Amino acid sequence: MNETLITLVITAVLIGATVIPYLKRFNKKESKARAKLHQMQISGLQEATTVHPQIDALLCIGCAACVKACPEGEVLGIIEGKATLIHGAKCIGHGLCAEACPVGGIQLLMAKPGRSADLPIIQDHYETTVKGLFIVGELGGLGLIKNAIRQGTEVMQHIATLPTSANDDVYDVAIIGAGPSGFAAGLTALEKKMRYIILEQNDIGGTVLQYPRAKVVMTSPVDLPMWGKIKLTTTRKEALLDLWQSVIKKTGLKIRTGEKVTDIQSVDGCFTITATTQSVKAKYVILALGRRGTPRKLGVSGEQLSKVTYRLIDASSYNGNHVLVVGGGDSAIEAAIGLASQKNNTVTLSYRKSEFSRIKERNRIHIGEFMGRKKVKVLFNSEVKDISETTVVLQTTEGEQEFQNDYVFIFAGGELPSEFLKKIGVNMHMQQVA
């Protein structure tokens, strides 16, 4: 055997020793991604409901940089050498996948019609087509606490440079919503000694109170006006709400809760805002409502507890819990299936009617399978009577029953903010997110 042939043989052995283990790992990861994709398709969670990545298959080189960059995990996977959207419903728009892609093959888009509400047209400085009315935060198409705080701060800094009203009964600005964006806007107004009013239909925290995740993820620190840098990289929404209360105590920020805004009208360069118990006037208005709209409440004791929420994004955050899902539509069915697919969850589904109606056939089949395997306990003709920190009480055909409980997910419908926006004159369109 000559020297050249020996060299070729050695080279081939070395390449094989390197490539074969790599291919095995690659195939294992792809198999896992395929299995996860199949599971998400069954549970209806592959499709995105808000912002999500769109992959250009012609540009994608399958490097998996986007997969590694995503803080949520398993939103993306590599299948047949291309990045693929696996768990779209879990995406909340960090955008780190697009930043990590070395070939610029990812864009952030809103979900297709029917999966999300229309977006309002937003111009420079977050101003809508109604002059003097601004939209920030999730309602404008971008989620995440850090984005909301940044936008709330920026819009108020801009409004502070605009002419104000000379009338004492007219606020400089009315802020609708006390979530992260409204909170930041209010703090900026306070810092700049502006006449402001914050109206919140629920309690302090706004959208955070309805946050559907066990964990709140912030991909980077963010500066909160009059407070400083927030470094809660991974926390729980309860801790974030505690922080809100600490900020209020330190700064004296005023928020009027229990005030649902039902109408906003502009007359002679001034807005009249109609709320639950009052009507106020303001030169400018900031809408910081969130995109989830106003969920329909059950009106039962304990519904205000932080363990109660009205939407599920990340079922994998819940493991080893006693969970109650309320409702009989597709969203409730899909949530129950998703939660029951996790480790050691005990899932009960409460529905006030005697059978499921108007649900997708796919969901009807799969909930039947989960019931048959006793992965989900379905209580028809039942209603929630009381919610406590550790239990829930249901009124059933057999009388009141008490269940151990860690989380409650309520899917009873609600009022989407898009209808309110159209009512007050804000023009809408479907748009791409930059």
Segment 392-416 shows an average pLDDT of 91
Residue 9 belongs to some domain of the structure? no
Residue 15 belongs to some domain of the structure? no
Do 185 and 287 fall into the same domain? yes
Question: How many Å apart are CA 249 and CA 239, to the nearest integer?
Answer: 15
Residue 328 belongs to some domain of the structure? yes
In this predicted model, what pLDDT tens digit does every residue of 157-182 receive, in sequence order?
Answer: 999 999 998 898 999 999 999 988 99
Give me the DSSP letters along 91-108.
-----HHHHH-TT--EEE
Do 193 and 267 fall into the same domain? yes
Q: Which domain holds residue 370?
A: 308-413
Do 139 and 67 fall into the same domain? no
Question: How many Å apart are CA 408 and CA 256, to the nearest integer?
Answer: 27
Give the model's pLDDT for residue 350.
97
Q: Are 318 and 345 in contact (CB under 8 A)?
A: yes
Q: Say which CATH number the domain at 376 has.
A: 3.50.50.60
Do 231 and 380 fall into the same domain? no
The answer to whether residue 123 scores a pLDDT higher than 60 is yes
In this predicted model, what pLDDT tens digit does every residue of 365-382 receive, in sequence order?
Answer: 999 999 999 999 999 999
Question: How many Å apart are CA 385 and CA 395, to the nearest integer?
Answer: 6
Q: Which two tokens stand for residue 366?
A: 């799969």
Give the model's pLDDT for residue 312.
84
Do 250 and 395 fall into the same domain? no
- This prediction has a pTM of 0.64
Distances in Å between the Cα of 393 and the Cα atoms of 286, 344, 345, 380, 400 are: 40, 22, 19, 15, 7
Distances in Å between the Cα of 232 and the Cα atoms of 102, 174, 388 are: 29, 29, 28
Of 111, 143, 166, the domain-final residue: 111
Count of the separate structural domains present in the chain:
3
**Residue 411 corresponds to which amino acid?**
F
Q: Which candidate, 278, 285, 248, 272, places its Cα nearest to that of 260?
A: 278
Question: How many Å apart are CA 134 and CA 159, to the nearest integer?
Answer: 9
Give the model's pLDDT for residue 95.
77
Residue 2 belongs to some domain of the structure? no
Give the model's pLDDT for residue 73.
75
